[in-house]
Chain A
Amino acid sequence: MSTSPLPPPPDLQLSTPLRKRWLQLRRYKDRLATLFIMLGGLGVILSVLMILFYLLYQVVPLLTSARIVPLEQQIDQPLSGQSLFMALDAEGQVGVRLTRQGTLQFFQPSSGTLLQQQSLDLPGNSHITDLADAGDGLMVLALSDGRVLPVQRQYTGAKDLQPVLHYPLGIEPLSLQSGPASRLAAFADQQQLLLVSFSAGQLHQFRFDLSRPDPVPLQSVSLPTPGFEPRKLLLMPQQSRLLALGPEGRLGVIPLHGAGQTYEVIRASREEITLFELLPGRRSLMLGDRSGALSQWFFVPDEYDTPKLQQIRQYDPLSSAPLLLAGRDQDNSFVTLEHNGTLSLYSLTSSRVLLRSNLLGGKPDTLALSPHNGHLLLEHDHRVSSWQLQAPHAEITLSSLWGEIWHEDYDEPGYIWQSSTNATDSAAKYSLVPLVFGTLKAALYAMLMATPMAICGAIYTAYFMAPALRRKIKPMIEMMAAIPSVVLGFLAGLWLAPFMQAHLTAILLLILLLPISILLFAFSWEKMPQRIRFLLPEGWDVILLLGVIPLVAWLAFPLAGPIEDRLFDGQLVLWLGNQVGISYDQRNALIVGIAMGFAIIPTLFSLTEDAIHAVPRHLSNGALALGATPWQALTWMILPAASAGIFSALMIGFGRAIGETMIVLMVTGNTPIMEMNIFEGMRTLAANIAIEMPESSVGSSHYRVLFLTALLLFLFTLVVNTLAELIRQQLRRKYRAL
């Protein structure tokens, strides 16, 4: 066989159609993968950032301004008769108008149709001189012949509402014992009707029992009467007071059923008062005078605990005299109509006007507002126009969230968070200040507890500890981070809190004894013979202290007993309460501080330790070479160099403490109070969300305010973390330069 050349290479066809298709498939897959990854990656990142946008989306409706729009269907025909009174009944579905001649006109604002027209059987040629709205559809009419007639409007049928008139004290008008009444005020609850009349210069009070149609009053008392003829009377039954409007801005305050008590006259305004109305709920009086000033008044107990009528706040003034007012209880807002026909919407707790527009162009006759569906009826020149008031979050204003508000049922202004009220006619109060205060208080105490331990521990671990031990200790401290905050919270709440209350003296003693005993031990250890000292390698001193500290703790408890007996009469907690005036709540800020501190120690520790360890060794070696002790090298060289890193660690720890929910939930009493006292509770923003979110109805003001608090938390931690990250990046650049 000759040395034949190498066998010919195999027939490699590098561009067969199959191969071409295969290459094309690979290219196609590559393009598909690129598209998928780009879309997917971008999508994921956007969805993570979407949290911010969703929070904003839920909060922005709080900022929408109020609007008033006319209803589609208006009542076309003019209504006859001189209008005396107008109201919206049956949850805003039926409007009713009463004329001086005694005709009741019922109409439906949403469809613009007139339902019914009923005439009250007034005797003879009498007409109605005054009307008192006693609440719940009951009107007490004062007739021109001096008699009074209570009439109640009721509705039957669920869908086609039929108005029915009910006469609780009989269809015949009553003659009051005091004589013909020229002015009336009335208030009715389920059982009784309280009626006050002004006749012949004297005020009289009558009480009727509504459960029996007996026209004879249960009680008839004459009240102390101020010297002027009242233009209008208003009853405030919760404070047992009657208010009488007098001339030249004077108000009379008359105590009800008070024998021997006297009236009081207040000069409420320099001008003539043109608006004198109570808000629904009858706790606040709204006054408006000829110059356009508008103010809120209610009763505040003075130093002798007597209620005194006091001006609480003044609102943005109107351009002309306000004449009519109607209020909504659930969001504490009200509308006023001025002499020139301008409508203004105000929120009770803020002095600024929310909405102002001239709807009528002239003097208004009557006004009716339904709190349930926001229907508004305005009457001008015998024409009734129907409007829709759109002010979904009227009560949430900057001042109501952050300002000090004087609420109706309180004795002084304050920062109140009370999102659920058991009284049906008291609006919820959303002030964020107690929550922010509680959050900062909890975080502050947590940082106070955690910072010394974490930083001192990190200093020792990074700089003084033997590297072999450090490799074991670091993971153990990081294991602390694995303990869920639920477990920490329950231990603090169920074990630590009662333990601390029972052994407060021992714990305080322990805190005092520990540093002293460590120093004593250190001093005596240095004095030990070298043989014993050298058993322990350099940098392993921590192991000794692991034995010393439990010993000291074990000794502190029996020592605490006699000390407590000697100094505090046996019970420190009682002594604190009686002698010093500090009330000790079992679940208090100290426990929260300890528990939350323990939760953030691992974070602070690792970040501080990394910061100190990252400082280049040659810096500290140089300091030591120049004769400094290790401690001096640390305090003068290392710590200043690592200070930015430590600071950013503190910021991150603080951010974590702000957002901690479970521990606060379990360890505090969750009361939204503002007390700096370490032994009292608090409520934080995060715990507040956890407690109240499940019970909040979607889209309500409460719901959106909770989202606002979440947004605050989000932005705060975002800002803090970004700053900390920027500081760390700058530090890294600085070290690379060294």
Chain B
Amino acid sequence: MRSDNRLMRWFHTDTPWVWLNAGAVALCLLTLLGILLLISAQGLAHFWPAGLLQAQVATDSQSRRIIGEVIRHEQVPVLQLQEAGISLDTDQTEVQRTLIRNGNREFSDNDYFWVLESALSDRHYPDHLAVFERARWGRLYGYLRELSEDGALLMRQGPDTDQEALWHEFEQRRQRTEALQREIDRIESNMLGQINRTLEQLRLEQRRLELLGPLQVPQLEALARERADLEQDYHLLQKRLTRLQQQVGRNRFRVEMADGQVLEFAMADVIRAYRPNGMGLSDKLEHFGIKLWEFLSDSPREGNTEGGVFPALFGTVLMVLLMSLLVTPFGVLAAVYLHEYAYQGRLTRLIRIAVNNLAGVPSIVYGIFGLGFFVYFLGGSIDALFFPEVLPAPTFGTGGLLWASATLALLTLPVVIVATEEGLRTIPTSLREGALALGATRAETLWKVVLPMASPAMMTGVILAIARAAGEVAPLMLVGVVKLVPQLPVDGHFPYLHLDQKFMHLGFHIYDVGFHSANTEAAQPLVYATALLLLLVILLLNLSAILMRNHLRARFRTLEPEL
């Protein structure tokens, strides 16, 4: 047939192959786009206040009320359900089921449960159904019924008090309680923490003196006096704390749960309370913004399923900054040596090849080297020399910020060396010769002519280093990243930057929360949000370094390699 001939002829023109190749490019781009969209959608959805469903579920012969957030729907084969022990009489091969989050972790075993679509009835979204986000035990869903203070009833929902007034009063008291709670936290973490720290330093001081020789009586007395002073301060603070905690515990409220029970809770536990079904668009946007800010500025809660990732974000940025501080001088030094001062013979070419290849070595090899050499050998020696009183607890003999930055600096050193050398290579020798002809020494030529002109290339190298290091997790797992830190490596006490402390990292946070948390279903949205944040951080680091490079490029207007 004629169309067949046309098809065959078309095949012979070889354009089909070109189109298939174009398809490969399109597929790559689409997968990239798809990944970014998926992460953004799932990540941002975590912060949007979802509607709260109230429905009746028919199980066996009973019908019970449930309240919860609808997470997703799924088509599941009937065989799979039957294997799990759920019997259905239907002739379909697949049924739809819904995943609902019902919170109230202390009352139920699983805060997520599946419900068959066919079993749900009487679905509606009541306006006054409330979500209470708590410091422990996750979210609470229910209707606010009563407020009490010091055990005495304040307000109760009834014919003469409407829900709005009750809610308004609740919000006011909650905000007051929140302020008091913040004061309590401040006392606990700052002041009591300071006292504990000083006591620990006294103990270490005593041990340090003991290591030198047995203590004399006046020394012991001085230490005992200091300790007594501190303990007195501690008692005073403790009393204040108890008073505040009493105040905070005065307010309580009662909530009607899904099964009809009305239970009492302390207002001090509540971090936030809102009624999602009644919120308008501006309220939802405000809530979205608040949750986003909480994510960026708060510490993790509830086993990393609630709260924020601020320590991880801080740790990542701090480590990347430290790493770039370490890698830039050493990388530039090595590149300058290789290009300007070394004899350009066979050995130098070999060294150059070796340094080039080191960029391709798997990062875990650097990790194991960092663990063995930096942590165990160098860290152990530092501990034995400078911190013998703390032993056997290690100070630098275990993973920490310093060793992690050093390991990543070593990892990215070849990148910086190669990029800087490229930059040095493109500076014409005539410029160097001109400077030397005018009487400059070699060092002055280097410092005043060559290096400024090579600074864009140096910046490029540092950009590449940062881009590589921000995403590396494998070596960090061995040299100093942990799941949860009690405090940040930078705080208000000397020496302000604690290089021996462990830290959190966004990439490791993703790995740990996604795969090692007890409640993977609850942790998933947070993992997506953290992945989005990590991508944004990497993008921002790259962009800021590129801007810096463009600024330097404009300033020095050099010839530089096409990168």
Chain A interface (Cβ < 8 Å from any Cβ of B) = 26-27, 29-30, 32-34, 37-38, 40-42, 44-45, 47-49, 51, 54-55, 58, 452-454, 456-457, 459-461, 464-465, 473, 476-477, 479-480, 482-491, 493-495, 502, 514-515, 518-519, 521-523, 526, 541-542, 545-546, 548-550, 565, 570-571, 574, 598, 601, 605, 629-632, 652, 655-656, 658-662, 665-666, 686, 689-690, 693-694, 698, 706-707, 710, 713-714, 717-718, 720-722, 725
Contact partner, A484, options B17, B353, B472, Cβ 8 Å:
B472
Contact yes or no, B365 A713, CB < 8 A: yes
What residues on A are CB-neighbors of B147 within 8 Å?
Answer: none
Whether the pair B534, A571 counts as a contact (CB closer than 8 A) is no
| A residues near B342, Cβ cutoff 8 Å | 41
- Asked if residues A490 and B531 are in contact (CB atoms below 8 Å), the reply is yes
Residues B27 and A694 in contact, CB atoms below 8 Å apart: no
* Contact, CB under 8 Å: B538 / A707: no
* Further pairs besides A483-B32, A598-B31, A659-B365: 19, Cβ < 8 Å: A41-B334, A44-B330, A456-B21, A459-B21, A460-B21, A460-B22, A477-B28, A480-B32, A484-B471, A484-B535, A486-B511, A494-B514, A522-B19, A545-B22, A549-B30, A662-B511, A665-B511, A690-B474, A706-B368
In the assembled complex, B152 has its CB within 8 A of some CB on chain A:
no
Do A464 and B22 touch (CB < 8 A)? Answer: yes
> Is the beta-carbon distance between B77 and A48 smaller than 8 angstroms?
no
For B39, what are the chain A residues with a Cβ–Cβ distance below 8 Å?
487, 491
**Interface stretch (choices B55-63, B226-234, B287-295, B369-377):** B369-377
The one of A38, A515, A549, A698 that contacts B26, using a Cβ cutoff of 8 Å = A549
Closest to A479 in B: B32
- Distance between Cα atoms of A631 and B21 in the complex (Å): 11
Closest chain-B Cβ to A686's Cβ sits at a distance in Å of 5
Do A662 and B474 touch across chains, with their CB atoms under 8 A apart? yes
The DSSP consensus for interface residues of chain B is: helix
A38–B478 contact, CB under 8 A?
no
A493 and B514 contact, CB distance less than 8 A: yes
Q: Does B212 reach chain A (CB closer than 8 Å)?
A: no
Within 8 A of A (CB), among B343-388: 351, 353-358, 360-369, 371-373, 376
Report if A45-B441 is in contact (Cβ < 8 Å); known contacts: A486-B473, A519-B19, A541-B19.
no
Known: A26-B444, A686-B474. A480 touches B15 (CB 8 A): no
Whether, in the assembled complex, B265 has its beta carbon less than 8 Å from a beta carbon of chain A, the answer is no
Q: Are B366 and A51 in contact (CB under 8 A)?
A: yes
Q: A502–B21 Cα gap in the complex (Å)? A: 30
Flag if B443 contacts A549 (CB, 8 Å). Answer: no
With A44-B334, A482-B539, A598-B31 in contact, is A456–B24 under 8 Å at CB?
A: yes
Decide if A45 touches B334 in the complex (CB within 8 Å): yes
B residues 1-50 near A (Cβ < 8 Å) are 7, 10, 13-32, 35, 38-39
B446 within 8 A of A: yes
Question: From DSSP, what is the main secondary structure of chain A's interface residues?
Answer: helix
B520-535: which have CB < 8 Å to A?
A: 520, 524, 527, 531, 534-535
Is B408 in contact with chain A by the CB < 8 A criterion? Answer: no
Q: Does B341 contact A (CB under 8 A)?
A: yes
Within 8 A of A (CB), among B439-498: 441-444, 446-447, 467, 470-474, 477-478
How many angstroms from the CA of A354 to the CA of B366 in the assembled complex?
33
- Asked if B93 CB lies within 8 Å of chain A CBs, one says yes
* Contact A494 to B10, CB < 8 A, known contacts A48-B414, A541-B22, A545-B23: no
Question: Which 5 pairs, one residue from A and one from B, show the smallest C-beta to C-beta distance?
Answer: A41-B337, A659-B362, A484-B471, A631-B14, A33-B443
**Would B471 and A453 count as touching, CB distance under 8 A?**
no
* Inter-chain contact B474/A484, CB cutoff 8 Å: no
A660 contacts across to B, CB distance below 8 A: 362
Q: Assess whether B19 is in contact with A658, with CB atoms less than 8 Å apart.
A: no
**Known interface pairs A38-B341, A457-B24, A522-B19; A693-B368 also in contact (CB < 8 Å):** yes
Do residues B20 and A456 form an inter-chain contact, with CB atoms below 8 A? yes
CB-CB under 8 A from B21, the residues of chain A are 456-457, 459-460, 464
Which of A522, A658, A662, A698 gathers the greatest number of chain B CB atoms within 10 Å? A662
Contact partners of A464 in chain B: CB under 8 A:
18, 21-22
Judge if B318 is at the interface, Cβ distance under 8 Å. Answer: no
A656 CB → nearest B CB, Å:
7
Interface contact A51-B365, CB-CB below 8 Å? yes
Chain B interface residue count, Cβ-Cβ cutoff 8 angstroms: 95
Indicate whether A570 sits within 8 Å of B337 (C-beta atoms), given known contacts A484-B538, A526-B15, A718-B361.
Answer: no
Task: Tell me whether B119 is interfacial, beta carbon within 8 Å.
Answer: no
Is B545's beta carbon under 8 Å from chain A? no
Task: Say whether B363 contacts A659, CB under 8 Å.
Answer: yes
Kindly state the separation between the CA atoms of A456 and B24 in the bound complex, as whole angstroms. 6
Cα of A598 to Cα of B31 in the assembled complex, Å: 9
Please give me the residue from chain B that is nearest to A605 by CB atom. B28
The smallest beta-carbon distance between A385 and chain B, in angstroms, is 37
Known: A27-B441, A48-B413, A722-B353. A37 touches B534 (CB 8 A): no
Instruction: Give min CB distance, A483 to chain B, whole Å.
Output: 7
Name which of B28, B31, B77, B478 has the most chain A CB atoms within 10 A of its CB.
B28
Query: Are A29 and B443 interface neighbours, CB within 8 A?
Result: yes
The reply to whether A661 and B363 form a contact with Cβ atoms under 8 Å apart is yes
A486-B333 in contact (CB<8A) = no
Closest to B31 in A: A598
Is B369 touching A661 in the complex (CB atoms < 8 A)? no
Tell me if B556 counts as interface (CB < 8 A to partner A).
no
Do A37 and B20 have beta carbons less than 8 Å apart? no
Complex Cα gap A673–B15 (Å):
45
Asked if A571 contacts B77 (CB within 8 A), the reply is yes
Bound-state Cα–Cα, A43 to B78, Å: 67
- Among B364, B473, B538, point to the contact of A710 (Cβ < 8 A): B364
B-side contacts of A485, CB under 8 Å? 471, 473
Query: Which chain B residues border A459 with CB–CB below 8 Å?
Result: 21
Given that A570-B77, A686-B362 are known contacts, is A486 also in contact with B25, CB under 8 Å in the complex? Answer: no
Contacts of B24 in A (CB 8 A): 452-454, 456-457, 460
Closest to A460 in B: B21
Task: Quote the shortest CB–CB distance from B368 to chain A (angstroms).
Answer: 5
Q: Tell me whether A630 and B18 are in contact in the complex, defined as CB-CB below 8 angstroms, given that A490-B514, A661-B362 are known contacts.
A: yes
The chain A residue sitting closest to B513, CB to CB, is A490
Q: Which of A476, A493, A659 touches B364 (beta carbons < 8 Å)?
A: A659
Contacts of B336 in A (CB 8 A): 37, 41
Verify B17–A631 contact, CB threshold 8 A.
Answer: yes
B255 contacts the other chain (CB 8 A) = no
Q: List 28 A-B contacts (CB under 8 A).
A: A26-B444, A33-B447, A41-B336, A41-B337, A44-B333, A48-B358, A51-B365, A452-B24, A477-B32, A484-B473, A486-B473, A486-B511, A489-B511, A493-B515, A502-B74, A502-B75, A514-B27, A519-B19, A542-B25, A548-B26, A549-B30, A571-B77, A629-B13, A661-B362, A661-B474, A689-B368, A710-B368, A721-B357
